[in-house]
Amino acid sequence: MTLALIAALPFLGALMPAVAIRAGRSACATLTAAFTALALALLALQAPAVLDGGVVTYSVDWLPALGLNASFRLDGLGLLFAGMILGIGLLIILYARFYLSKSDPMGVFLTYLMLFQGAMLGIVLSDNILLLLIFWELTSLSSFLLIGFWKHLPEGRQGARMALAVTGGGGLALIAGMLLLGHIAGSYELSVILSQREVIQASPLYLPALILILLGCFTKSAQFPFHFWLPHAMAAPTPVSAYLHSATMVKAGIFLMARLWPVLAGTPEWFWIVTTAGLVTMLIGAKIAFFKDDLKALLAFSTVSHLGLITMLLGMGTAKAATVAVFHILNHATFKAALFMTAGIVDHETGTRDLSRLGGLRHLMPVTFVLAFVAALSMAGIPPLNGFLSKEMMLEEAAHTALGPAWLLPVLATIAALWSVAYSLRFLSAAFLGPQRHDYPHPPHDPPFGMWAAPAFLAVLVVLIGLAPMPIAAWLVDSAASATTGSAAEVHIKHWHGLSSPALWMSVAAIGGGFAILSAARPLRALYDAWPKPEAKAIFDAIVEPMAGLSRRVTATLHDGSLTRAVAIGTTAIAAAALWAFATAPHDAGTRMAMPVPPVVAIAWALVLAATAGLVLTHRNRLFALILVGIMGLIISLGFAWLSAPDLALTQITVEVVSVILMLLALNFLPRTTPRESSPLRRMRDALVAAAAGTGIGALAYAVMTREPAFPPISAYHLAQSKPGAGGTNAVNTIIVDFRGYDTFGEIIVLGIAALVIFALAEALLRSAPALSRLAGTLPRPDSAGDRHPLLMVMATRFLLPVALMIGVFIYFRGHNLPGGGFVAGLVFAIAFVMQYMASGLSWTEARQRIDHHALIAAGVLTASAAGVGSWFFGAPFLSSSYTYVHLWPLEEFELATAAIFDLGVFLCVLGAVLLALNSLGRLAVRAGETSSNDPYSIDPDEAR
């Protein structure tokens, strides 16, 4: 349960800024940070069990039939990533409080940030890969909001779109790959999948699954050739860059590769694809970073390079390389988040991030310089900082791994490390070293403590891990590496490996080469600018624009707003698929004999056909079409009764009465006939499509009814469990209020929403004088309408009202065991009130209406909700029902079921929805009639028709 709470807390925290921002920016940030801090504290409570080698799990069945469960898992790898997500997230909230200007909506920003934090936390804690995919897509959506937070900047909007397009496309590939992986393993639970290494790697689907999963990982973690999106995401505010590109989003792909390492790694396919992609990304990112003049762009490409380094280590397929990768994940998060925050401080205080306009800041911003100095040297791999330790270990692994010729991988890794030293030194020298300048856009100075506290904390970690790696970090690296490799890992981190270590000389060459490149920066820059190179953004635009244009043309053609065209396309596609299935599949004759058809049934069937044909031919006459619809509904209700379905017959009859009356009222405001909108050719097309679809549905129904089912129908279970499981002999009612009560709960909510929509539309028309004037022209003239309130009808409805209400109560109480129930009872009550409206008019009825219709709908939904929530107090799922038998003298023994409470909610909601719709149309008619009598310029009814 604790794991689910940890995963949920950021999402709960995302609700807070909307309220807390009214109390001030500091209060808003503090309250939001409290949720992250609480999640971090709960995570710390689970840490001892994980560090002892255990795995904390929690699972709740969600959709077990689909293999989708709310399963959570915390092991060493999850602990490392969850700690980084929450720990750095807490620092980012503090930093953002002081970084964002007063014009930036901090409440919105923190909401987006917490949504992203929750999505990332869900990825690293999920034990179900389907649940992981849900969180994966949430990270793409929430990062889109964060990257495009400054929506007034074109580059921000474009960067957000690019990130969403690339990571979203990779996400689709990942979904396919994970489904294949779950299919191979026979489960979607990671706990099971991670134990199926031999089965997965022996499967013929291994390579397709591997490629699809790696596409998702590479796009998310900006690996070549998908590296181009990450630098364009730098248009986001610096807190976003520091969070997404150090410890969270770009690490999601790295995390997934590490999580699936035990079952996917160790094959030649994994080695060549992952190692090559990581090596190329590390080289390209490092080289480009050196030539960037924008501070954040330099750091973005350096992030790409370091992500490539980690990917390369995971691709090597050895437990030691994977352990080094885990260690560098931790180190990179500390120094890169600190660097992004110091870059943001420089931008915030000087007004520019352009290295050509910076320099000498160590004199004016000494605190910021110290923080940047420590973090940049760690990124360069200078001893004794933490970046040096993992870089040395990486070079050692590269020296013992062959990628083609034995010398190739060590040489290329050294070159990448060389460029890493160069761009780190350029970051420091161009921004902070050199003579003091006086032409900054703003006079620079160190920011307040609140802004440099977060990077200072990270810089301290950089130093502590570097000086004392074993007591500070080894225990966490051991645990995470053991979870990654599936075997116990004991890492030994030290600064000195002896003169015989190839990593020493490779590191010396990298540091010396880095200083040499920095000294030759100008000629190298001229060569770089002159050298032709592809522009990733231009290539991306060249690919996306034609695709977007094609999609717009297809959409404009297929979805031009015409309902008939959309229905025709959809129906044709379904009919074509069904025809193809019929033509390519074997067929067996049906074994069930057809029932005899009595003459009365045949006549009723012929009447339905005649009414349907008449409706098609005369549909332009709205009133006649409504009469035909009513005839068909009544005949169908007789069919239900003949087929021993009295509940359906009762429901059908009452629904027909209510709906016909409401539509008759609505027809008052419409012309008598509809205009001709379709040409004869189009009508012929529609007739052919309808005939094909109708024939196919008829054939399918015949095939189903004349053949034995392939599996027992669910109806047998409902009939068998109706009494012992739900306490009622009416299976239809027990299905509605018990077995499928959640469906009914959703339906009454939809019904209430529909009534509120009718009310809202009527209110809008009532407030519009032109609309009322137009509607007035459609009403019949008072002198031709006859007696509005016939005395005989008035007296009859007054007498029938208590009788109808009594029948409704009777139908409600008998519904659990005999035909009836809350839905039918609500419609019977509604018909009784409809008769009062029709006989005595709106004013007379409203004057005697004591209960607001909105309140009825609300009471119905709340009552149904209470019936569902009440089951939780007894340890049962939502909407579980119970029943008992009571014997009260002098009555006979009778049943009490909690389902009756839910059915009462259905009754109230149905009654309120019908009366609200009726009252809305009635008030509209009255106001339109008043407008007609008072407006000498109202439209003539004959002209309107």
Nearest to 707 by CA among 619, 587, 627: 587
More confident residue, 121 or 941: 121
Q: Is the pLDDT of residue 103 over 50?
A: yes
Tell me the C-alpha distance between 805 and 675, whole Å.
Answer: 42
423 close to 298: Cβ distance less than 8 angstroms: yes
Q: DSSP 3-state assignment of 404?
A: coil
Is the predicted pLDDT of residue 935 greater than 50, yes or no? no
Q: Which of 32, 123, 115 is CA-nearest to residue 73?
A: 123
pLDDT at 704 over 80: yes
Q: What is the rounded average pLDDT of the residues 662-679?
A: 77
What pLDDT does 718 receive? Answer: 86
Dihedral sign (CA 787, 790, 791, 794): negative
3-state secondary structure 261-324: HHHHCCCHHHHHHHHHHHHHHHHHHHHHHHCCCEHHHHHHHHHHHHHHHHHHHHHCCCHHHHHH
Which residue in this structure is represented by tokens 């009914």?
744
**The pLDDT of residue 940:** 40
Please report where in the chains the tokens 């320099």 appear, as a residue. 359
Q: How far is CA 209 from CA 206, 260, 398, 776, in A?
A: 5, 12, 27, 66
Residue 723 burial (C-beta neighbours within 10 Å; 0-12, 13-18, 19+) = middle
Alpha-carbon gap, residue 685 to 693, rounded angstroms: 12
CA separation for the pair 80, 50 (Å, rounded): 11
Rounded CA-CA distance 258/137 in Å is 19
Condensed to tens digits (0 to 9), the pLDDT of residues 260-291 reads 999 999 899 999 999 999 999 999 999 898 98
Q: What is the separation, in whole angstroms, between the first and last Cα of the chain? A: 66
Contact 779, 932 (CB under 8 A): yes
Among residues of the chain, what percentage have pLDDT more than 90?
Answer: 29
Mean of pLDDT values over 417-422: 91
Is residue 92 very low, low, confident or very high in pLDDT (cuts 50, 70, 90)? very high
Q: How many CB atoms lie within 10 A of CB 743?
A: 11
The pLDDT confidence band at residue 891, using thresholds 50, 70 and 90, is low
The two structure tokens encoding residue 481: 């590496």
Q: What percent of the chain has pLDDT over 70?
A: 96
Write out pLDDT tens, residues 481-505. 988 888 877 777 877 777 777 888 8
> In sequence order, what are the residues at sequence separation of 6 or more whose Cβ sits closer than 8 angstroms to the Cβ of residue 568?
685, 686, 689
> What residue type is assigned to position 102 of the chain?
K
The residue type found at 240 is V
pLDDT value of residue 717: 85
The kind and range of the H/E element at 433 are none
Out of 137-141, 261-265, 347-351, 587-591, which region has the weakest mean confidence (pLDDT)?
587-591
For 245, the enclosing helix (H) or strand (E) is none
- Residue 72 has phi, psi (to 5 degrees) of -125, 150
CA–CA distances in Å: residue 827 to residues 660, 666, 811? 13, 19, 11
Q: Is it the case that residue 64 has pLDDT exceeding 70?
A: yes
Separation between Cα atoms, residue 390 and residue 382, nearest integer Å: 11
Would you give the DSSP letter of residue 736? I
What is the Cα–Cα distance from 942 to 945, expressed in whole angstroms? 5
Q: Taking residues 729-748, what's their average pLDDT? A: 87
d(CA 476, CA 491): 10
Model confidence at 120: pLDDT above 90: yes
- Give the 3-state secondary structure of 845-898: HHHCCCCCHHHHHHHHHHHHHHHHHHHHHHCCCCCCCCEEEECCCCCCCEEEEC
pLDDT tens, position by position, 899-922: 888 989 999 999 999 999 888 888
Using DSSP's 3-state secondary structure scheme, residue 61 falls into: strand
What's the full length of the chain, in residues?
945
What 3-state class would DSSP assign to 938?
Answer: coil
Query: Which of 79, 86, 80, 81 has the alpha carbon at shortest distance from 32?
Result: 86
For residue 253, is pLDDT > 60?
yes
Determine how many CB atoms are found less than 10 A away from the CB of residue 276. 17
> How many whole angstroms separate alpha carbon 304 and alpha carbon 314?
15
pLDDT tens column, 570-618: 888 888 888 888 888 887 777 888 788 888 888 988 988 898 888 888 8
Tally: H helices and E strands in the chain: 42, 4
The HSE-up count of residue 430 (CA atoms within 13 Å, CB side) is 23
Q: How far apart are CA 174 and CA 183, in angstroms?
A: 14
What mean pLDDT comes out for the span 527-532?
78
Average pLDDT, the chain: 85
Q: Cβ of 176: how many Cβ atoms within 10 Å?
A: 16
In 10 A of CB 538, how many CB atoms?
10
Q: Is residue 942 predicted with pLDDT exceeding 50? A: no
Higher pLDDT, 560 or 657: 657
| Rounded CA separation 396/414 (Å) | 11
- In eight-state DSSP terms, residue 472 is I
Q: Which of 135, 234, 228 is nearest to 175 (CA)?
A: 135
The structure tokens listed for 311 are 């990917």
Kindly state the tokens that stand for 617: 């031919």
Q: At residue 185, does pLDDT exceed 80? A: yes
| pLDDT one-digit tens code per residue, 846-858 | 788 778 889 999 9
Backbone angles phi, psi at 385, to 5 degrees: -80, 165
Place of tokens 């607001």: 852
Q: Measured between alpha carbons, how far is 920 from 62 in angstroms, rounded to an integer? A: 41
CA dist 223 and 219 (Å) reads: 6
Task: Report the distance separating Cα 366 and Cα 372, nearest Å.
Answer: 10
- Would you state the structure tokens that stand for residue 927, as one six-digit string? 């106001």
Strands 56-63, 68-74: pairing kind: antiparallel
Nearest 5 degrees, angle CA 231-CA 237-CA 240? 75
Residue 720: the pLDDT is 87
φ, ψ of residue 739 to 5 degrees: the values are -60, -40
- Return the H-helix or E-strand segment holding 70: strand 68-74
User: Please, is 909 exposed, middle or buried when counting C-beta atoms within 10 Å of its C-beta (0-12, 13-18, 19+)?
Assistant: buried
Task: Report the alpha-carbon distance of residue 99 to residue 242 in Å, rounded.
Answer: 12
- Interval 111-126 mean pLDDT: 93
937 pLDDT above the threshold of 70: no
Structure tokens belonging to residue 96 = 């953002």
Enter the pTM of the model.
0.73
Q: State the pLDDT at residue 939.
A: 38
Residue 734, SS3 per DSSP: helix
* Predicted confidence (pLDDT) per residue in 801-844, tens digit: 889 899 999 998 888 888 888 899 999 999 888 888 888 877 78
At 201-252, the pLDDT tens digits run 999 999 999 999 999 999 998 888 888 888 888 888 889 988 887 778 888 9
For the segment 605-623, what is each residue's pLDDT rounded down to a tens digit?
Answer: 898 889 888 888 888 888 8
Tokens of 339: 């660097």
φ and ψ at 563, to 5 degrees? -65, -40
Amino acid code (one letter) for 589:
A
